[in-house]
Amino acid sequence: MDLSMKWLSDYVKIDAEPRKFCYDLTMTGSKVEGYEAEGSDIKNVVVGKLLSVAPHENSDHLLVCQVDVGKAEPIQIVTGANNVKAGDLVPVALDGSDLPGGVHIKKGKLRGVESNGMLCSLGELRLTKHDFPYAIEDGIFIIQEDCKPGDDIHDAIGLNDTTVEFEITSNRPDCLSVIGLAREAAATYCLPFDPPEPKYKGISGDIGEFLNVTIENDTLCKRYIGGVVRNVKIEPSPRWLRERLRASGVRPINNLVDITNYVMLEYGQPMHAFDARYVSGHEIHVRNAKEGETITTLDGVVRELSPEMLVIADAEKPVAVAGVMGGEYSGIMDDTVDVIFESACFDGASVRRTAKKLGMRTDSSARFEKGLDPKGCLPAIMRAFELVELLKCGEPLDKVIDKGDRSRDRKTVDFDPKWINRFLGTDISREDMIGYLERIGFEVVLNKVVVPSFRVDIECKADVAEEVARFYGYNNIQGAELTGVANAKLTPKQKLLRKIEASCTALGLYEIETFSFISPKYYDKINLPADSKLRSGVTIKNPLGEDTSVMRTTVMPSLCEVLARNYNYRNPSAAIFELGSEYIPTEEGKLPKEPNRLSVGMYGNGVDFYTVKGIIEELFESIGIGDVEYEAAGSGCGFDEISMFHPGRVAVAKINGEPIAILGEMHPAVAENYGIGTRAYCAKLDVTELLDLETAERTYKPLPKYPAATRDISLVCDDEVPVASLEKLIRGAVGAVLEKITLFDVYKGEQIAGGRKSVAFSIVMRSADGTLTDEQADAAMKRVRKALDGAGAEVR
Amino acid sequence: MKQALEKIELAAREELSKIADPAELEALRIKFLGKKSELSAIMKQMAGLSAEERPVIGQLANRIRTDIEAAVSERAAQLKAEASERKLREERIDVTLPGKAPKLGKLHPMDAVMRDIEDIFIGMGFDIAEGPEVEYDYYNFEALNLPPDHPARDMQDTFYITDNILLRTQTSPVQIHVMESKKPPIRIISPGRVYRSDAVDATHSPIFHQIEGLVVDKGITMANLVGTLDMLMKRLYGDECRIRLRPHHFPFTEPSAEVDVLCFNCGGKGCSMCKGEGYVELLGAGMVHPKVLANCGIDPEVYSGFAFGLGLERIVMRKYGINDMRLLYENDLRFLEQF
């Protein structure tokens, strides 16, 4: 809402500087976004009187003018315009002046003739014909105002208002008006404020001859007042009215239309004017649109209406979409004679839905949708008629048709100063509270607050407390600490996530944050099979674009994107992780599951499969989970994302036989999809599922008292045999005395037959009961050899 | 004999002075003190001396032996010291070369700040509550006093999944879940992702993070809200931090406030960072609307509460002087390494 300070001063006299005014109003709850002095970008421009206009000696289209700018001597200015003559008053940009758009005027020579400034057009002052209908747009602005040479242009043409831009919250439609803001301003400065009481004389006549109103849907139309103005004279509005509209950001059109806009801005009540000629049968029906009905709105667009929409119809057809926009033929034209004025109150939610569906939000609908006061209809139409008489542009009939007014008893809310102080934590006296409330039109009667009808937002004690608080001053409320027991702790899940984060960073990984919605094409990029269940996810009905249209069912594409981006930025290596959610659909109409996932990705810096595996191993260690088994992964491994991995370099980690993580090298084809020109390694770990696992509490094991026996063993086996299976075999064979088994060599090549490999382990054995004898150790190794032999491994 | 002994002593001292390494010293020790040394030979001849001469020569021989021994061990110590000094000198390294420890990774700046804020609240007795990001309209809007067609819904451009399932536009729905499942006293924060259909630019992102706070108990006042926010901001930004409340409107709180903090850059004088205001807007807050309490089965006549919500991105950007929100979601390592 743009407020003209000149307009405001009709109702309340403000002494404060604009900056202070903005601050003060903001602090009592009417938030100011900023303010602008009109024409503040125009400097050193004055009224000049042309004393003489002569041809330019070196040019056919330039003129040389002697201009009286209120100084002792006239100045000479060369102009290219041809609409000037001696005696005209014109805007003169003097030497060293500023014009809108950063234009700076200096004296100079035009075709050899000295020019000490510039004569200005409307456009050069950023004005239009709407502001000065008598002027022309392609020529110098010949001023027909009461002014004299040397007068500052701002004052001369009324370009001296200040506009304050308010951000009015949706609960205060009453403040979308000059009067509403005047009330708030007066209350802020403890100044008197009396709402105006518009009066008009009117002419007598039978309104029924011109207008009959029927409200067919009184749920959506809470009041409809129709009035008639006869014998209108359509012409431009007077300057003061145009200036106020301009300062409020509304374009002046003609006097009748301007009056409806003026009243809307001043009273906050949208109005509409119909040309009576086009209201068939002199009938107004406020009804729902019929199936298949259309209307061509004022903006010339044909709109399809639907039955839930409320329209203003004549005997035959809709002439306006209620509260949103008028129909094409209903508007005011130059030959309009009789006008019907509408001042009505429509249901906010209905107007909102209709405007949204038709895709046209107007100043009118923006006000109605917040819920207006039915009581506001009558003063508004009276004000319109008052203006019609003031402008002498028509003859209002003295009576109006007022339908549907169901003004009930005044709304009251409990007034309980003790409760308010308890609620706010303040100690404000009852008298002060009453003072604050009365300033904004409330009335206190015993233990009740009578709420003014325009305050549609006030419903309960807390609402009254807010009114008190904002005039007491939010910042006068002294802070008080919370008391009581402060007993808070992290949940097991929060602890786990923090532990994983800490371990990941300790392992050299950088955390990333990615969007949870992705493009469905990302599934192709990780080569996900066409029938993968991961392809059916939660889809956004109104996404910003396809790129962000589905909630991810796997975190891996986001990870790959970040790896690719860093590769693209020529970052030589990357080691990253994300703790993010996946969104897995459940039943139709139910919320999806949102399990937590850890994703890890890396490239460069010499990392390989075993680096990423080592990270996953250390992670399990750090969160206290042992007994993790790793297997070469194939399709059906439990992770559809296996499609993105190198088929020979991918493993699943299992706990109790259940897959919990997948890790491996990125498939070259996927790397190519992402434009990653190096080997990259990725892992995904199902964090939510970890929470269900019992993590054993760590207990102290006594340090060994007796020495250990260490034996190394080297064997040759088929290349296909997983080392883990050999290790498992050895573990079983050694039995209880096994303390630790360490792989220390895997060798393929010379001296080893093709398709075979040499593997070497170091086995540490120890007994808790005494020093292990050589015999005991040898016996254990004999069992190992036997076991390995049985498995086709040849001990060397 | 006496002369012979004195000659030995002289020779020993002279040779000793020329010794340069431990091996030579050992050879010298054997030469002068070993079993086959001249001194030993003389000692063996002692038996043939007269009773008068024997103690005199014996004493002399012993003294010379002791002296040579002492001189040898002194020289040995000297040599060891020299050698060790030389070794230390040779082992000098360039201590300005970079260290070799494995590099730590880092948390994303948003998560690092989030953890800080969570820890502040844990310390103030707030549990951390969670809720779904894909949410029912009821929890995101209706229960928060935003019925269908409420004009304030426009302030939060919403991504819809179905007519009544959406991506939460705020972390406030967690309030409702908590109040539905737990009776007062309630003291929680709910941090998390929220979604609004704003196109990506330097100050907007369709995904961002909020931290919602909720306190409900008997006798909770607006003064408690002020006190809590004041403490939060002081812990977050230091004791000099000042807050300012402005009346505002949120459908789920009454009274409602927008909360500003004194501009860190100019300290309130007004600068480009605070657009000349001296304060920067940081969060929204208010007393929980009685209707919201009632929607959750909490009697507003008995209990009251306050709630607040802050935007994590804004805090992080301000803290680190980041001027483009896109950097936070781009995950360029050259950016992430800086925190």
DSSP assignment string, A690-754: HHTS-PPPP---PPP-S--EEEEEEEEEETTS-HHHHHHHHHHHHGGGEEEEEEEEEE-STTS-T
**Reported confidence tier of residue B155, pLDDT bands at 50, 70, 90:** low
Which is it for the CA torsion A572, A575, A579, A582, positive or negative?
positive
Mean pLDDT of chain B: 91
For residue A219, give how far its alpha carbon lies from the nearest alpha carbon of chain B (Å): 16
pLDDT at A696: 63
H/E segment holding residue A35? strand A31-37
The closest alpha carbon to B189, from B215, B220, B216, B212, belongs to B212
pLDDT digits (tens, 9 = 90+) for B201-236: 988 999 999 999 999 999 999 999 999 999 999 998
Whether residues B68 and B161 share a domain: the answer is no
Contact between B144 and B153 (Cβ < 8 Å): no
Query: Which whole number is the average pLDDT over A535-564?
Result: 95
Residue indicated by tokens 């969104």:
A583
Indicate the DSSP class of residue A38: T
Residue indicated by tokens 């607040």:
B308
Partners of A321 in the beta sheet? A311, A325
Q: Do B249 and A171 touch (CB under 8 A)?
A: yes
> Rounded to an integer, what distance in angstroms lies between the CA atom of residue A504 and that of residue A523?
26
pLDDT at A92: 95
Give contacts of B107 with chain A, Cβ < 8 Å. Answer: 501, 505, 511
Q: Do B160 and A31 touch (CB under 8 A)?
A: no
pLDDT digits (tens, 9 = 90+) for A125-140: 998 888 888 999 889 9
**Considering only alpha carbons, which residue of chain B is nearest residue A567?**
B332
pLDDT digits (tens, 9 = 90+) for A61-87: 899 999 999 999 999 999 998 899 999
Query: What's phi and psi for A422, nearest 5 deg?
Result: -65, -40
Burial call B288-322: b when 16+ CB within 10 Å, e when fewer? bbbbbbebbebebeebbbbbbbbbbbbbbbbbeeb
Structure tokens at A451: 């709420």
Give contacts of A551 with chain B, Cβ < 8 Å. Answer: 134, 167
Whether residues B83 and B113 share a domain: the answer is no
SS3 B27: helix
Indicate the DSSP class of residue A300: S
**Considering only alpha carbons, which residue of chain A is nearest residue B191?**
A494
User: B147 or A550, which is more confident?
Assistant: A550
**Reported confidence tier of residue B61, pLDDT bands at 50, 70, 90:** confident
Whether residues B32 and B162 share a domain: the answer is no
Cis peptide before B255 (omega within 30 of 0): yes
- Can you give the residue range of the structural domain that contains B252? 109-336
Q: Do A31 and B248 touch (CB under 8 A)?
A: yes
For residue A464, give how far its alpha carbon lies from the nearest alpha carbon of chain B (Å): 9
Give contacts of B115 with chain A, Cβ < 8 Å. Answer: 498
Give contacts of A511 with chain B, Cβ < 8 Å. Answer: 105-108, 111, 336
**Reported confidence tier of residue B22, pLDDT bands at 50, 70, 90:** confident
A506 touches chain B (CB under 8 A): yes
Given a cut of 80, is residue A794 above it in pLDDT?
Answer: yes
Given a cut of 90, is residue B259 above it in pLDDT?
Answer: yes
> Rounded to an integer, what distance in angstroms lies between the CA atom of residue B143 and that of residue B276?
38
Q: Domain holding B191: CATH number? A: 3.30.930.10
Q: Which of A513, A559, A593 to mutate to test the interface with B (most CBs of B within 10 A)?
A: A513
Q: What value, to the nearest 5°, has the Cα angle with vertex B216 and ends B211 and B219?
A: 135
Does residue B100 fall inside a structural domain?
no
Query: Which whole number is the average pLDDT over B24-49?
Result: 86
pLDDT digits (tens, 9 = 90+) for A15-50: 999 999 999 999 999 999 999 998 889 999 999 999
A463 touches chain B (CB under 8 A): yes
Q: Do B125 and A487 touch (CB under 8 A)?
A: yes
**Considering only alpha carbons, which residue of chain A is nearest residue B278?**
A23
Q: Do A31 and B334 touch (CB under 8 A)?
A: no
pLDDT at A694: 64
pLDDT at B173: 96
Given a cut of 90, is residue B321 above it in pLDDT?
Answer: no
Give contacts of B257 with chain A, Cβ < 8 Å. Answer: 474
Cross-chain CB nearest to B161 (options A461, A540, A569): A540
> Rounded to an integer, what distance in angstroms lies between the CA atom of residue A285 and that of residue A316?
10
Whether residues B27 and B137 share a domain: the answer is no
Given a cut of 90, is residue A158 above it in pLDDT?
Answer: no
Q: Do B246 and A31 touch (CB under 8 A)?
A: yes
pLDDT at A533: 94
Residue indicated by tokens 């398709």:
A755
Mean pLDDT of chain A: 93
User: A47 or B276, which is more confident?
Assistant: A47
Whether residues B118 and B83 share a domain: the answer is no
Q: Which residues contact A596 (CB under 8 A, 6 or more apart)?
A: A493, A497, A579, A580, A581, A687, A688
Which is it for the CA torsion A633, A634, A636, A641, positive or negative?
positive
Structure tokens at B169: 């536009």
Whether residues B78 and B204 share a domain: the answer is no
Given a cut of 80, is residue A485 above it in pLDDT?
Answer: no
Does residue B98 fall inside a structural domain?
no
pLDDT digits (tens, 9 = 90+) for A645-682: 999 999 999 998 999 999 999 999 999 999 999 999 99
Q: How many Cβ pairs closer than 8 A exist between chain A and B?
A: 238
CB-CB neighbours of B152 under 10 Å: 18
pLDDT digits (tens, 9 = 90+) for A236-268: 999 999 999 989 999 899 999 999 999 999 999
Cis peptide before B185 (omega within 30 of 0): yes
Given a cut of 80, is residue B101 above it in pLDDT?
Answer: no
> Rounded to an integer, what distance in angstroms lies between the CA atom of residue A18 and that of residue B338?
43
Cross-chain CB nearest to A475 (options B121, B244, B333): B244
pLDDT at B309: 95
Query: What are the structural domains of chain A?
Result: 2-38+162-188 (3.30.56.10), 43-156 (2.40.50.140), 207-403 (3.50.40.10), 411-476 (3.30.56.10), 492-691 (3.30.930.10), 709-795 (3.30.70.380)
SS3 A571: coil
Q: Do A477 and B206 touch (CB under 8 A)?
A: no
Given a cut of 70, is residue A695 above it in pLDDT?
Answer: no
For residue B318, give how far its alpha carbon lies from the nearest alpha carbon of chain A (Å): 18
Contact between A653 and A661 (Cβ < 8 Å): yes
**Reported confidence tier of residue B6, pLDDT bands at 50, 70, 90:** confident
pLDDT at A240: 92
pLDDT digits (tens, 9 = 90+) for A494-521: 999 999 999 999 999 999 999 999 999 9
For residue A323, give how far its alpha carbon lies from the nearest alpha carbon of chain B (Å): 15
pLDDT at A83: 92
For residue A150, give how far its alpha carbon lies from the nearest alpha carbon of chain B (Å): 35
Whether residues B127 and B77 share a domain: the answer is no
Give contacts of B140 with chain A, Cβ < 8 Å. Answer: none
Helix A774-790 crosses helix A723-734 at what angle (to 10 degrees)? 140
Distances (CA, A) of A21 to A18, A160, A204: 5, 17, 46
pLDDT digits (tens, 9 = 90+) for B157-193: 899 999 999 999 999 999 999 999 999 999 999 999 9
Whether residues B177 and B255 share a domain: the answer is yes
Helical segments of A144-270, H only: 153-156, 178-188, 239-247, 255-267
Provide the number of structural domains found in chain B.
Answer: 2
Given a cut of 80, is residue A275 above it in pLDDT?
Answer: yes
Does residue B103 fall inside a structural domain?
no
Cross-chain CB nearest to B105 (options A426, A505, A591): A505
Does residue B104 fall inside a structural domain?
no
A172 touches chain B (CB under 8 A): yes
Given a cut of 80, is residue A361 above it in pLDDT?
Answer: yes
List the 511-550 stretch of A: residues with Cβ below 8 A of B.
511-517, 538-544, 548
The closest alpha carbon to A565, from B202, B327, B325, B199, belongs to B327
Among residues B37, B62, B90, the one where a domain terminates is B90
> Rounded to an integer, what distance in angstroms lies between the CA atom of residue A491 and that of residue A260?
61
Does residue B102 fall inside a structural domain?
no
A353 touches chain B (CB under 8 A): yes
For residue B299, give how far its alpha carbon lies from the nearest alpha carbon of chain A (Å): 14
Given a cut of 80, is residue B151 above it in pLDDT?
Answer: no
> Rounded to an integer, what distance in angstroms lies between the CA atom of residue B37 and that of residue B28?
10
**Considering only alpha carbons, which residue of chain B is nearest residue A579?**
B111
For residue A465, give how far its alpha carbon lies from the nearest alpha carbon of chain B (Å): 7
A569 touches chain B (CB under 8 A): yes
Does residue B97 fall inside a structural domain?
no
Does residue B96 fall inside a structural domain?
no
The reported pTM is 0.85
Q: Do A31 and B256 touch (CB under 8 A)?
A: no
Q: Do B247 and A576 touch (CB under 8 A)?
A: no
Whether residues B70 and B217 share a domain: the answer is no
Whether residues B131 and B84 share a domain: the answer is no
Does residue B159 fall inside a structural domain?
yes
Query: Which whole number is the average pLDDT over A537-558?
Result: 95
Distances (CA, A) of A55 to A60, A64, A198, A283: 7, 6, 55, 63
Whether residues B258 and B321 share a domain: the answer is yes
Cross-chain CB nearest to A478 (options B115, B223, B328): B223
> Rounded to an integer, what distance in angstroms lies between the CA atom of residue A263 and that of residue B85?
99
CA atoms within 13 A on the CB side of B35: 0
Whether residues B17 and B130 share a domain: the answer is no
